[in-house]
Structure 1
């Protein structure tokens, strides 16, 4: 793919002040995470992560020989004060976070904290990996601008992906970075697999440049908002003791805290036996879970009726 195509996929479509040479096309977001963790930290080094966090990132970090270290969150996202303490105590030089729509809680990092966590990472001499997977998965309200939009020092490495808003088979992602770190990423990518297949890149460029892309995103936004509301309403009616941690403004799931006495793994196993797939919350924690939680997806069902039926089955087994 040429430089102009890379800019369309990585920067121009998000309104970022990014040059084509700052963008590296990858085979989806997961492959990009694997590359980043191997490139930005040495085996045995700590990597700071929100707690809870995306288990695919934990797996990629551990596969690279890194030690995930949890940093607590609250309703406004990762706490800058505890982040600074974690950098000081561990000597970490890498932070992985999802500030625009946290997976699994759906939290959006508060405006007053967005610059603070970049400043904390910069002061520690660390890179901040910004996983912006939900940029195209909004529910109607605009998401805040990516952290990299205000970064002029190369602290932030931005990760984007088309896989979730387009198709699971369209394994296209992009890394945005500046300076020597991008050259290192390019060198490692060359060793791994040279480049992402050109037909996939061309399909991505054609998709993003089509008028139907904006129509698709609008329809997707409406569908996700309706499904989120339907799932939340069904939970309130059938399982009032299950607490929704946050009603997200983007993303594909709800994060639910279970009542005392229920174990997330036991509920997930019973749900599977009843024909309902949910994610046990314990796998999202890099250390000991703080509560018994479930992640409930609402994007893959056939419709709203199937979501309601799934909740009815959950109520029947608990």
Structure 2
């Protein structure tokens, strides 16, 4: 583990310890902290310096480190009550922040993650790619609005079909692409159809754009075309947001016989399909169907993909692919939002995707995700037989679990957190009231498969 990450862990542990002390109490000596946490003196010095900067502790040369006086309630607090009246527009869903349980306690096993654990990331390849990108003579020049030509060509080739580089707009990750697409396609106040359940970040982005999410039920084969047609007729919606491959949170893949039907239903309604293909590179080793856009002959599908999930959280590189006037809208929004995506990141993405190490990483990742999925599913079946796992996914990062009738997913998640396991409640994945209590369990954010088994054992004691 790196020195910096160890220092962050030590700061978190010391904050927890300081919370049990009173102002003026002396912290253990540096020598004691080195022995207790098995870290270096440099790590201890960095952690103490961080806490001093935050005003949590004070140091007295020759004496030691002491808990600082608590700030009095109300002291130096801005009077902001007037903002409640000024912020009358509730389009931005603040529940994503206000309902967050906060950082987990040390030792908590993370089953609520949406990214790969560091051990699954191609960190060496990423470092090499970024170093090569930084050495380019034009590394800090302005990038084209639509993205580097080489990167757009790579994205177009990965999708295949009739997609060409001119159809590609490079984005700062998938979430940025979602926000751009919602604002480009639908006007404020418009309905947008979504799978039920669906990705909470998409619901938040749609509402922030002034749109009204309308749920369309799914079954084991994906979104139901018959109910989708009814929803278009009833609402007059001109946009469907969907995840046909390795759906988040259920892990389902849209059945082959429904793929063209979904496109045809949307086209008949004069509507767009926003295909979120975030998990394209997260398959578990089996066959991954091609994107919907490869079967689209009318410009109905706007395609979104990202490198963030299969690579690393801070590789904020994605792509929107569209044909026709909607691409002009997307490019215009890019000029309003941020002009272009940082060139060094784009160059690094080109270096990474062009390297043989990328294909090796994807093969290794598929094997690791398959193993972790099987381990967690088996452990949950043994330790919590009352929790029902839906169809086991063949790709993605999560298991979708239905709780017994009458259970409360929020209470279960709170109890699990007290037992040292962080979970995602199912209610956040529904645009309206959930039909049953669910949990989403991530199997890619833990250190290894051993932690997944340990988490299931802890959940058995709820």
Counterpart Cα distance in 2 of 1:76 and 1:143:
15
**Structure 2 residue 162 is matched with structure 1 residue 5:** no
Q: Which residue of 2 aligns with 1:278?
A: 423
* 1:180-191 superposed matches below 5 A: 180-191=325-336
Counterpart Cα distance in 1 of 2:152 and 2:221:
33
Q: Compute the TM-score of the two structures, normalised by the length of structure 2.
A: 0.68
Deviation at 1:6, TM superposition (A): 1.0
Q: Compute the TM-score of the two structures, normalised by the length of structure 1.
A: 0.98
Alignment root-mean-square deviation, CA: 0.8
The CA deviation string for residues 39-78 of structure 1, in whole angstroms up to 9 with x for no partner, is 1101100000000000000000000010000001111000
Q: Does the 8 Å CA contact 1:7/1:18 hold for their aligned counterparts?
A: no
Q: Which residue of 2 aligns with 1:154?
A: 299
Between Structure 1 and Structure 2, whose CA radius of gyration is higher?
2
Counterpart Cα distance in 2 of 1:70 and 1:97:
11
* 1:253-292 superposed matches below 5 A: 253-292=398-437
**Match among 82, 90, 95 for residue 240 of structure 2:** 95
The CA deviation string for residues 18-51 of structure 1, in whole angstroms up to 9 with x for no partner, is 1111000000000100111111101100000000
Pairs aligned (count) = 316
Deviation at 1:261, TM superposition (A): 2.9
Deviation at 1:241, TM superposition (A): 1.1
**Match among 51, 59, 70 for residue 215 of structure 2:** 70
**Match among 297, 300, 313 for residue 445 of structure 2:** 300
Counterpart Cα distance in 2 of 1:16 and 1:167:
27
* 1:137-216 superposed matches below 5 A: 137-216=282-361
**Structure 2 residue 191 is matched with structure 1 residue 46:** yes
The list of structure 1 runs, each at least 4 consecutive aligned residues, that deviate by more than 2 angstroms after superposition, is 1-5, 13-17
Q: Which moved more, 1:263-272 or 1:168-177?
A: 263-272
Counterpart Cα distance in 1 of 2:161 and 2:311:
21
Q: Unmatched 5+ residue regions in structure 2?
A: 1-146
The CA deviation string for residues 82-111 of structure 1, in whole angstroms up to 9 with x for no partner, is 000000000000000001111111111111
